[in-house]
């Protein structure tokens, strides 16, 4: 495994002041995608303990994006993330895994083979150096970085305490499109979807609707939202 050390601007091109404020200083990458990253790029994220319906939706969205040559970004966690990466690869698309651990660690362990494939043929990104001791706070930081890397983010399924919500708020803070899958919007036991709608999130009824807004503008806004 060959690991390259890059700044966010090496990876993404010039950043504006808000993007710089929330970007990590250094990123570690392994894989086979061009640098700076081509676009468009869309993150598809959600619950580790996903329902069968959530997994089907994640696959449908990833399949649509991959077929339209969108680079599909996710976090290599169990559940939604794993479904997204696997579907994208099966469709012959390109995927990026943004890790909450150093690149030489595999979490969850059962995604060992999948991470190896991504680090060889696609791209894996971490803001944590080899030898870093993983902490709970690293995963929200990973979600912040994933929002920065992605032109748009899509939450497929998430409870009120899900880590995916960190990324949703970061996407809104950066002025990036945030989509919430339709089945989540119809779940009135959840409080977060309507909060995010107030700040500009959009209900996603068809995967194609994401493609229609990519790539997103580079404008950013500051919001005062819970994270």
- pLDDT tens for 32-78 read 999 999 999 999 999 999 999 999 999 999 999 999 999 999 999 99
d(CA 18, CA 10): 17
d(CA 31, CA 14): 22
Query: Which residues, listed in sequence order, are joined to residue 5 by a DSSP beta bridge?
Result: 28
**Please, what is the angle between helix 112-121 and helix 80-90, to 10°?**
50
Domains in the chain, CATH or no CATH each: 4-211 (3.40.50.450)
The whole-number pLDDT of residue 219 equals: 38
The whole-number pLDDT of residue 135 equals: 93
Which residue, among 164, 31, 180, 56, has the nearest Cα to 100 in the 3D structure? 164
- pLDDT tens for 121-175 read 999 999 999 999 999 999 999 999 999 999 999 999 999 888 899 999 999 999 9
Mean pLDDT for the chain overall: 93
């Amino acid at each position: 495994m060959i690991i390259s050390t890059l700044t966010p601007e090496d990876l993404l091109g010039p950043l504006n002041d808000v993007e710089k404020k929330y970007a990590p200083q250094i990123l570690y990458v392994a894989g086979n995608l061009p640098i700076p990253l081509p676009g468009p790029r869309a993150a598809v994220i959600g619950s580790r303990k996903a329902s069968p319906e959530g997994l089907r939706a994640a696959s449908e969205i990833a399949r649509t994006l991959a077929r339209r040559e969108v680079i599909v970004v996710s976090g290599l966690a169990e559940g939604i993330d794993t479904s997204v990466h696997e579907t994208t690869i099966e469709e012959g698309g390109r995927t990026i895994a943004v890790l909450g651990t150093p690149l030489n660690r595999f979490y969850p362990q059962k995604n060992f083979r999948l991470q190896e494939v991504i680090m060889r043929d696609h791209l894996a990104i971490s803001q944590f150096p080899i030898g870093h001791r993983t902490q709970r706070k690293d995963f929200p930081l990973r979600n912040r970085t994933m929002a920065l890397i992605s032109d748009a983010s899509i939450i497929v399924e998430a409870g009120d305490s899900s880590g995916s919500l960190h990324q949703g708020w970061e996407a809104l803070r950066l002025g990036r499109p945030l989509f919430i899958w339709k089945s989540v919007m119809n779940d009135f036991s959840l409080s977060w979807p309507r909060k995010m709608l107030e700040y500009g999130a959009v209900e996603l009824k068809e995967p194609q609707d994401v493609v229609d807004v990519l790539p997103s503008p580079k404008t950013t806004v500051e919001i005062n939202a819970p994270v």
